[in-house]
Structure 1
Amino acid sequence: MRWQPRSLYARLALALTLVLGAAGSGLLVAAWWYASVAADEAYDQILVSGALQIAENTWLNKGVLDVDVPLAAFAVLSARDRVFYQVLDPQRRVVAGDPSLQVAVPWEGIKRGPVLLSAVVQEQRVRVAIVGRHVMPQDPQGWAAVVLAETQIARGTLAQSLATKALWIIGLMGVITIGAAMVAAQRALKPLHDVARAIGARDAASRDPLVVEAPPEAEVLVQTINDFIARLNARIALMRRVMGDVAHQIRTPLAAIASQVELWEYAPDEATRRVQAQRIKTRLEDVGELSSQMLSHALVLHRSQGVSMDRVDLVDLVRQQLMQQLEDRPARQVDVEFTAPDQPVWTCGDAVMLKEAVRNVLGNALTYGVRTRLCVAVKSTASHAEICVEDDGPGIEPTRWDALRRPFTPRGDGRIGASLGLSIVDEVMRAHGGELRFEAPASGGFRVVLRLTLELQLTGA
């Protein structure tokens, strides 16, 4: 695992140091190469100059090549290096200088100008300058050659000196650059410190959006903080709404139970006590149903803030919920019809929320709608799946269908409750991008349809 410092400033400092270090290393290599080339060019010119001076003092006298080597030809060369030379006549014979200097002379090349090459002489690396002189004008091949070689100690020293000076300059400029970069990085990070100070100066109870002037790069952070504050405000508002709804809805039935208990205490006879006890039991059952609905509503509201998308088989989910609802009502004599494809019908969604929606639809149908028949079906098309629950009850007037989607709508038939069942279903469908529909079949009864998107389209497969 690659180590990185925790501090953003330290990360910038490390990154800048590495970048500038790499750039400085490249400059040092370039400086060393340039110093070597510059030293070679300078000493090569001096070497060629010495060879030309020897060539100028070479002539043909009565068929014999004479050479008068000037001292100035060697005086311009470095005193720290060894120098070797030889002069060859047109017959390739050494007429002056060191006969042991074995350097291959490019006779055709010297006709076009001085030739420079590297060689090894007496186990020492030398630089060689070869200059030609046409001593027999009437003969195209009448060329003499002057070979002047010099060891490379002085030019190496010059290259090292130039590179060392470049090293000091590059090092000094690197230190100045890194220092300036650190100051610039610190100033560049100042907006983050401004954001931190703005957050630290806020009141602990404040949930207003953060207002601070920031450059475009830091605006993303400010916007993210404001988005978080908005989500936090939404959660707090949701919690207050649920708490207010619970307090409002529970207060009335609890007051009614307290009144029934008081009447039970002062009942004149046992028959009246039994009547009051039955009323208390009924009220407690209503409170239990109300509490269950309120908890389900709170659960759905909480989970709808961030739906966890998993693969859910609607056929298996509906079948299990139907069996559970029928087991909870063993006394009901209901003709149940369940139809579904043989293969699973997959969707992407929150299994807990979808179970809650199906449980509420089935529970409403069995409790308030079904007389003798309940039809449950799972259908699928090319892009959608539908869960249809139809009963043979009296149905609900179409004018009240919109009210069924709203929580805490007053209930008819003298029933106590929060009317949360179908509003919970509507919340679940909207959280999944689905749809809750109500239909009135021509044959009578009431039908609830839950329409969901298939997994194929949700995942873009």
Structure 2
Amino acid sequence: MNWCPAMQHEPSLFARLARRISLVLGIGAALLVSAAWYYAETAADKAYDRLLVGAALQMAESLSVERGALSARLPTSAFELLGLAERDRIFYRVIDTNGKTVTGYDDLQSPAPSDGARDAVSISEGIYKGEAVRIARATRVLADPSVTGHVYVIVAQTNEARSALTRELTLRATILVVVMSFLAFAGAMLAIRYALQPVERLGAAVRRRDPHDLTPVSVGVPRELDPFVSSINHFMGRLNERVDLLQRFIADAAHQIRTPLTALSAQIDLLGHDKLDKTGRQHFERVQQRTGELARLTNQLLSHAMVIHRADSIQLEPISLVDVARRAYRAAIPITVDPDIVISFEAPDDRPFVLGDAVSLREAIVNVIDNALRHGTDQRLEVRVRSDALDAYVEVEDDGPGIPPEGWEKATQRFATSKSHEGSSGLGFAIAQEVVNAHGGTLGFRARDEKSFTVILTLPLYKGPAK
């Protein structure tokens, strides 16, 4: 079957869904990773800001007034608290009520507090010595008679530790998101594969159907596939109507042609050729021969149409192959057969049964016997029925030259002749092959020697209870 290029390169529904789901999961994973980075950064800032504010408050509480001057004895615990971030460097500055540096780095600055927030602890970003730092400022109010006013403690810390914590938390979250996305994708693919099973079952059911089977497709599918199945059944119904019309036309045409052909053959026989000269007799014999061939071909066309119709509509049942072959033998051997031809029929006592259509099988055997009588038999024709453990056989053997092995395949083609020197051709072997193929069998040939040729119809043996 030829498919158009668009159908060959069209991606499958599974591939489309896989790409779209992977795109959605990728966008979702990117958003989750971005959110994880944001929350990791916030969590790291909160954790280290608490350490920074705690150290600044401890330093502010350690300030005292001695001998009328501000004294700064910074506790070691504050530095130990900041020392938990081993990678970072610490900068500090203590400013008295006059705005002078008591201790620490003179150039460490912090935004001035607003008037309403002098006693608050504030956190801000900044740059010190070319590095990004986090700055905490703690304010303490002194009410000593000699020193009165606000003093400030400014503590700055670099961001290496909190950046490392942000990266670690983000990495862990990213690994979790990637694993969950992979599991979600795998689960989605399994769900899609399971959900698409009805489509695969429908396709398999259509592929397994016999080319002659145009009955509606009856496969359980979800509601979403009902329009598709309905369209298939509607198309097959229309195709079945067309095929029925074509077969009816062939049958009617063959029937209508057969009646005048029979009358024509009778009229030709009544004419006789005794009064004709040699040339006239030759023409008469040729007309008589062609009329016979035309009548035979018409009968074969009618038989072929009948066989095709029964293959689509008849239920197979167990039948005796001996009975079918005997009826075909009686129908195929004409009363006017040459008395010099020895014709015999052999059958076993235990009648082999096959699962089939008796009418179609009889037509197949009749066509094989008729072909042997017309084109093969010289003095002997034998029809045999036999069986073995698996198959049953109908053999038609004649003493003619038969068909050479290189012509066996061509002999089963429609309107092919088995003898190159004859102009006649027909449907005999083609009809027989179609029938045995419909019954799960084969049509074969066997040449024993130069004086014997056999056509063999092989059918599967029915081993169930016979009717």
TM-score w.r.t. the length of structure 1 is 0.50
TM-score w.r.t. the length of structure 2 is 0.49
